[in-house]
Amino acid sequence: MRLTVLAGGVGGARFVRGLRAARPDAEITVVVNTGDDLWLAGVRVCPDLDSIMYTLAGASDEDRGWGRRDETERVSGELAAYGVGWPWFTLGDLDLGTHLARLAMLRDGLTLTEATARLSERWDLGATLLPMSDEEVETHVVVAADDGAGRERDMHFEEWWVRHRAALPALRFEQRGVDRARPGPAVLDAIAGADAVLLAPSNPVVSIGTVLGVPGIRRAVETTRAPVVGVSPVIAGAVVRGMADACLAAIGVETSAAAVAAHYGSRSAPRRTEDVGTGQDGKGTGLLDGWLVDTADADARVEGVEVVARPLLMTDVPAAAAIADAALDIAERVHR
């Protein structure tokens, strides 16, 4: 069974780990958001790829929720002593090993896809990680400049997210470079050739949204013959992890399981009322066949989408596996 997941960082990582536990024999491919990637001290950092790799490898720091277990910050301490760096962005030593290994590969001419495959070889991931694109895409956040003159300023998503804890109201997100980006070489086939496509409970705006923004990927999801099932990142009107509500607000989407599903759209019903007659209506204009929500959101209804309610807190691997299982159940049921 070929299962393809669109995913961001930690939420995506835990979902994929559950999926691997639920379907150990499946061929799992994860199309990963790279819009959070950044150059830091001349080194290429890929937060989402690494979160997923570490989590699947069993090398992640589960308590902290990010980075490597048994991490140290010797190099970071030196950078700080030299007055270099981003006090808000921790570069752990083990984590830096990944960034540097990747940098060496990129400098040797490997693509990000190839470098990711090389890095993955070290671990027993039980899944193939595909960067959404080999081209650089950087998500920037536009906020009010706080100059009293109504001007705007922007910053890299990671700065907004990690440094400002998403507390500065985002006016909008700009996925720089996304229009020119091409999907990674195996991405479209992984979506088109899957037995099921799953949208992980990742940030719908800056994770899944960025992946879908790469020209060709949204269309591949819309048109794949596989059922497409999403897992809600919102439970009872609150995001489970992170601060995705701040992102949803910026794009005018309510923080609710139903609103996120409506934002993704149905593959079999007009996507939004205002799209009718714009060429965006009708079959193939939305992304979802099924939508898994938490039991707290059991009353969620989305036109043209099969909504099922199950407990969605990924408290441990069995819980995540049960969630993945439920998503696959929907996929089987809606299979056309």
Q: Name the site residues for a copy of itself (rule: CB under 8 A).
A: 39-43, 72, 74-79, 81-85, 93-94, 96-98, 100-101, 103-107, 118-119, 121-122
C-alpha atoms less than 13 angstroms from C-alpha of 100 in its C-beta half-sphere: 8
Phi/psi at 238 (nearest 5 deg)?
Answer: -135, 150
Q: How many other C-beta atoms can be found within 10 angstroms of the C-beta atom of residue 252?
A: 8
For the chain, strand residue ranges (E) read 2-7, 27-32, 38-40, 43-45, 128-131, 138-144, 152-156, 170-176, 196-199, 228-231, 234-235, 238-239, 290-293, 306-309
Q: At its nearest, how many Å lie between a copy of itself and the CB of residue 84?
A: 4
Phi/psi at 231 (nearest 5 deg)?
Answer: -115, 125
Q: At its nearest, how many Å lie between a copy of itself and the CB of residue 80?
A: 9
Between 82 and 279, name the residue whose CB sits nearer to a copy of itself: 82
SS3 sequence of 97-133 = HHHHHHHHHHHCCCCHHHHHHHHHCCCCCCCEEEECE
Q: At its nearest, how many Å lie between a copy of itself and the CB of residue 257?
A: 39
Is residue 240 within 8 A of residue 210, CB to CB? The reply is no
Between 85 and 227, name the residue whose CB sits nearer to a copy of itself: 85
Q: At its nearest, how many Å lie between a copy of itself and the CB of residue 36?
A: 19
Q: At its nearest, how many Å lie between a copy of itself and the CB of residue 90?
A: 14
Between 100 and 298, name the residue whose CB sits nearer to a copy of itself: 100
Rg over alpha carbons for the chain, rounded to the nearest Å, is 19
Q: At its nearest, how many Å lie between a copy of itself and the CB of residue 59?
A: 10
